[in-house]
């Protein structure tokens, strides 16, 4: 039988081994997190801070830019995550078909965007979505539009461009999870359904999706967190302004601007950061609640 309690020397040795990691984690993660919570109750500009109680939370409710950013973030979340998850599932099922030729090539092509350099991809997308860019030219050549769309000059189209960009970048990443899960499903299950006359759509709806549910939940949570922290694309496409007229500003971009661009308001930006934490918590909880198996186990 293993000794239940370690003696004192072994305990010290054990702690000594994990101490470097613990110190670094504490210094660069736990301390800033706790400090940011404390900061969120501070008011004032620059280093001139004082305790303000719930003043920052009150300010949130009256801050039009924050409300804008919250709305934008939710818009991105509500449209982008389902589109991306749906596309990723579709690609995964299609690319799992053993009769498809060039499967490896397609898989690589769809996965590649998420390992591409952020700056390189942002720059390319920016030029593609320019008023005289390739997207407008193509759409005009196909007679879909009569005059070029001002992608980053119009609040609606700016959001569309950003949704397209993030979807392009992250769909392949999610697809890989689904592909891995699909390959773990026993092929006979589909063969049995085929022999029993279950139509293809029903095999997808009633067999594939339920069997992938744990993975779908996982990717949804990961994507939700990612979207709530959306910063890179917006910052790069709009030169950090979240324009036009704050129509693409996200919570993360707003935090950045509050901290580093405007007159620094560290306390208030910490409060906005904690809003994201709370939102991620609530949304993840809701997703788990929805995905919970409702069947009563006997």
Name the residues that contact another protein, by CB under 8 A.
Answer: 186, 188-189, 191-199, 202, 206-207, 210-211, 213, 295, 297-298
Q: Which residues contact residue 258 at a Cβ distance below 8 angstroms, ignoring those fewer than 6 apart?
A: 264, 265, 268, 269, 272
Minimum distance, C-beta of residue 247 to another protein, in the bound complex (Å)? 42
Classify 219 in phi/psi space as left (phi over 0), alpha (psi -120 to 50) or beta.
alpha
DSSP string across the chain: ---SS--HHHHHHHHHHHHHHHHHHIIIIIHHHHHHHHHTTEESSTT--EE-TTHHHHHHHH-HHHHHHHHHHHHHHHHHHHHHHHHHHHHHHHHT-TT-TTHHHHHHHHHGGGGS-HHHHHHHHHHHTSTTSHHHHHHHHTTS-SS---TTTSHHHHHHHHHHHHHHHHHHHHHHHHHHHHHTS-HHHHHHHHHTT--HHHIIIIIIHHHHHHHHHHHHHHHHHHHHT--HHHHHHTTTS--STTTT--HHHHHHIIIIISS--HHHHHHHHHHHHHHHHHHHHHHHHHHS--SPP-
Residue number with CB closer to another protein (99 or 147): 99
Minimum distance, C-beta of residue 238 to another protein, in the bound complex (Å)? 44
Residue number with CB closer to another protein (118 or 202): 202
Residue number with CB closer to another protein (34 or 202): 202
Residue number with CB closer to another protein (5 or 295): 295
Minimum distance, C-beta of residue 180 to another protein, in the bound complex (Å)? 17
Minimum distance, C-beta of residue 207 to another protein, in the bound complex (Å)? 6
Rounded Cα–Cα distance for residues 288 and 132 (Å):
45
**What does the block give as tokens for 19?**
């101490």
Minimum distance, C-beta of residue 132 to another protein, in the bound complex (Å)? 52
Residue number with CB closer to another protein (6 or 192): 192
Minimum distance, C-beta of residue 95 to another protein, in the bound complex (Å)? 21
Residue number with CB closer to another protein (62 or 294): 294
Neighbours of 64 (CB within 10 A): 8
Residue number with CB closer to another protein (289 or 296): 296
Residue number with CB closer to another protein (114 or 193): 193
Minimum distance, C-beta of residue 214 to another protein, in the bound complex (Å)? 10
Nearest to 217 by CA among 76, 126, 85: 85
Minimum distance, C-beta of residue 87 to another protein, in the bound complex (Å)? 24
């Amino acid at each position: 039988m293993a000794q239940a309690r370690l003696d004192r020397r072994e305990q010290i040795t054990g702690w000594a081994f994990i101490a470097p990691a613990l110190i670094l984690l504490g210094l660069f993660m736990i301390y800033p997190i706790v400090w940011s919570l404390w900061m969120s109750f501070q008011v004032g500009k620059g280093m001139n801070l004082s305790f303000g109680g719930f003043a920052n939370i009150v300010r949130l409710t009256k801050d039009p830019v924050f409300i804008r950013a919250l709305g934008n973030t939710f818009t991105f979340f509500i449209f982008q995550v389902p589109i991306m998850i749906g596309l990723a599932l579709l690609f995964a099922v299609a690319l799992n078909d053993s009769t498809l030729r060039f499967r490896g090539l397609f898989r690589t092509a769809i996965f590649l965007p998420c390992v591409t350099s952020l700056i390189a991809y942002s720059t390319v997308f920016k030029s593609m979505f320019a008023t005289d860019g390739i997207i407008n030219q193509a759409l005009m050549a196909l007679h879909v539009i009569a005059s070029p769309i001002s992608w980053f000059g119009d609040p609606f189209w700016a959001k569309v461009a950003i949704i397209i960009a993030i979807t392009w970048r992250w769909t392949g990443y999610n697809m890989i999870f689904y592909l891995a899960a699909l390959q773990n499903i026993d092929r006979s299950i589909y063969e049995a359904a085929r022999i029993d006359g279950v139509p293809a759509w029903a095999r997808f709806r009633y067999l594939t999706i339920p069997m992938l549910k744990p993975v779908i939940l996982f990717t949804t949570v990961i994507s939700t967190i990612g979207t709530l922290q959306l910063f890179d694309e917006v910052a790069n496409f709009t030169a950090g302004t979240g324009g036009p007229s704050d129509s693409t500003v996200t919570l993360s971009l707003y935090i950045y601007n509050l901290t580093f661009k405007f007159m620094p308001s560290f306390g208030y930006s910490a409060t906005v950061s904690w809003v994201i934490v709370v939102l991620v918590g609530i949304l993840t909880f809701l997703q788990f609640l929805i995905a919970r198996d409702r069947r009563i186990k006997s």
